[in-house]
Chain A
Amino acid sequence: MAQIVLHDVVKKYGTFQVVHEVNLNIADGEFVVLVGPSGCGKSTTLRMIAGLESISAGTLRIGNKVVNDVPPKDRDIAMVFQNYALYQHMTVFDNLAFGLRNRKVPEMEIRSEVTRATQMLGLEPLLARKPFQLSGGQQQRVALGRCIVRRPQVFLFDEPLSNLDAKLRAQMRIEIKALRERVPTTSVYVTHDQVEAMTLGDRVVVMKDGWIQQIGTPLEVYNRPANRFVASFIGAPAMNFMEVELVEEHGVVSAQAKDFKVELPDEQAAVLRKHSAKTVTLGIRPEQIRLGMPSGNTGSSFSGVVTVTEQLGSELVIALNVADSTIMASRISPETGVSPHARVQMWVDGKALQFFDHENGKAITCAPCTLR
């Protein structure tokens, strides 16, 4: 096991820069998830850590050793690929043993290592099969096994679950999580799925266009997104955004738009006062919007017209027209009877509101961590 340190790591193809000065310290045993939309540079960053892409500038350390020019085979890493990348012409056993045989490990030891991994993953009945005889989930388990047997310093995961169907994906996510408890190796996990990022990561690194947007624990990026992009990317349904004007009247700061006004609690107001009379972007998570009248004294109510309702059984999601923009509200009790075109009254806790600079999208205040 080892820590990984990226210092000003850059990737360029010709003059085109795809990863910009990435700085990231991954502690020994930590599980870090790189998340972002496609083309954000997360896979390239992972492949640089793996040694599959050369590093254009900056330094990469694995376990205190600079490995910029170390070939992948000598980095003591293991990697799981999106399409499993199993060796098609080898049996499952040979697939698992391949890395160990390359390192001239005695056959006895290979056998015991493979047994350990197969028991962990329930692969025993499949050892003699070839990859094309396996289902997607089984193939992915073999790919995980291939990493485990090697006992490497670092695990790298390149969107390992994105080729699986939704049900299997949820199941494998739990298996990876369980595996992580038993094999606490430093891991870097790349995904475009924010659910995987939130559930698996000790820390989450949100990337966009080759820049790191935010590094933090899952709760930090959820509750205190550094900018509008992170706020919209993490959380589902995505955060609602509205252009509002901050108005200070009689010492009370409120965010206003057409037919919309919420008063801000004191903590928020303290920070936002200096932006008063300016336009800012207001972010409200769909799950913070509740139907009816406010229950506490920090709630502000507003009204909107229902356009669409989505009944999920466990909850009701509704789309509303508020102040000329469409916003989503989720976690509405499924028994609530609302129908399209109805005007409904809603409220939101002022503490749950987030504000972003209208121009550059940076967060202005952050809601406290503990809500709901």
Chain B
Amino acid sequence: MIVRSTKLGLDEKERFMLFLIAPAAIVLACFEIIPILIGMNASFRDWSLVNPQRTWVGLKQYVAVFTDPVFLKIVLPNTFLLMTASVGLSLAFGLALASLLNRPFFGRAVVRTIILLPLTIAPVITATMIRWSFNDQFGVITNFLSYLGLADIGWLSDRWPSFALVIMTDIWIWTPWFTIILLAALQGLPPEPFEAARIDAATPWCIFRRITMPMLRPVIIVCVLIRAIDAFRTFDQVWILTGGGPARSTEVFSVYTYVLAFVDLDIGRGAAAAGVGAIIMLFVGGVLYKLVNRSVEVSR
């Protein structure tokens, strides 16, 4: 192998490896990489559907995005708030649910089926039903809350209640995902450390903190990585629930970009925003990957 690879040619094994990835690589190149390049090209131009001149304007669009107070003061904070709140809380709830379900009890199969529902139902539908349940006049939950004396919350008309609703919807969707994976991980843990801890008279909380958590750590870290990356591109729930409103106050990155390109029809600016998002995510993704690699190694 050493001898042959110095000759620059590929050996039989390497040719087979390339053959295996070829279809995936070609599709990836044509429908992801090339569009990204085209998008980068578009982001340097003044290109809107009302003014299709496509004049080269250099970094003007990027400057416009980075000096846009909506982007800096609302979109970025919202996006990262959604990311941390959703991932953190779904993880916490998921962990709690997984520990709760990690024992036999009557009706466990039913509960397991129920918690799968949020995962299989389209986020669009979920957002629709949450929006309907929190309708300010007819929503079942709004009416129930006003019955409890909580009538004055403008669920879909004030910034923070709206955004809280977005986060809650995201948590509703993703808690089951954490639950299922963590439950599987819990069931896969060897019983001996737990038996040893019980013999050593450890309290349940102590067992959870000192034994369960460290053993689940690699799984948790990978889950958080996947979810954090996905949370950044949240679009469906926000778009259906609030449409970014009221007054753009709940816009997140994907909605902001979508609005620029397809509502304001400013392709150039939209492409620049998309580029900024990609760069941010590459950076965040890189940092997360480093962290994951290190901590997974440590906990091994």
Interface residues of A (CB under 8 A from B): 12, 14, 54, 56-57, 71
Contact = CB atoms under 8 A, between A and B. Distances in A.
Contacts of B2: 12, 14, 56-57
Given A14-B2, A56-B3, A71-B12, 9 more contacts: A12-B1, A12-B2, A54-B1, A54-B11, A54-B13, A56-B1, A56-B2, A57-B2, A57-B3
8 contacts: A12-B2, A14-B2, A54-B1, A54-B11, A54-B13, A56-B2, A57-B3, A71-B12
A57 B1 CA distance: 9
Contacts, number: 12
B252 to A, nearest CB: 45
A12 B1 CA distance: 8
Nearest to B11: A54
Contacts of A12: 1-2
Interface residues of B, number: 6
B286 to A, nearest CB: 25
A79 B27 CA distance: 39
Interface string B1-17: 11100000001110000
A106 to B, nearest CB: 30
A60 to B, nearest CB: 14
A248 to B, nearest CB: 52
Contacts of A54: 1, 11, 13
A33 B13 CA distance: 29
A54 B12 CA distance: 11
Contacts of A71: 12
A14 B1 CA distance: 9
A54 B2 CA distance: 9
Contacts of A56: 1-3
A55 to B, nearest CB: 8
Nearest to A69: B12
A227 to B, nearest CB: 30
A68 B20 CA distance: 24
A244 B259 CA distance: 88
A57 B3 CA distance: 8
A14 B5 CA distance: 11
Nearest to A54: B1
A58 to B, nearest CB: 11
A14 B13 CA distance: 16
Contacts of B13: 54
Interface in B1-52: 1-3, 11-13
Nearest to B13: A54
Nearest to B12: A71
Contacts of B12: 71
Nearest to A71: B12
A241 B220 CA distance: 51
A55 B182 CA distance: 44
Nearest to B4: A54
A221 B130 CA distance: 78
A50 B2 CA distance: 19
A252 to B, nearest CB: 56
B3 to A, nearest CB: 7
Contacts of B1: 12, 54, 56
A71 B16 CA distance: 13
Question: Which 7 pairs of residues, A with B, have the shortest CB-CB distance?
Answer: A54-B1, A56-B2, A12-B2, A56-B1, A57-B3, A56-B3, A71-B12
B1 to A, nearest CB: 4
A125 B1 CA distance: 45
A282 to B, nearest CB: 43
Nearest to A14: B2
B5 to A, nearest CB: 10
B241 to A, nearest CB: 47
B12 to A, nearest CB: 7
A166 B3 CA distance: 43
A193 B103 CA distance: 43
A12 B5 CA distance: 13
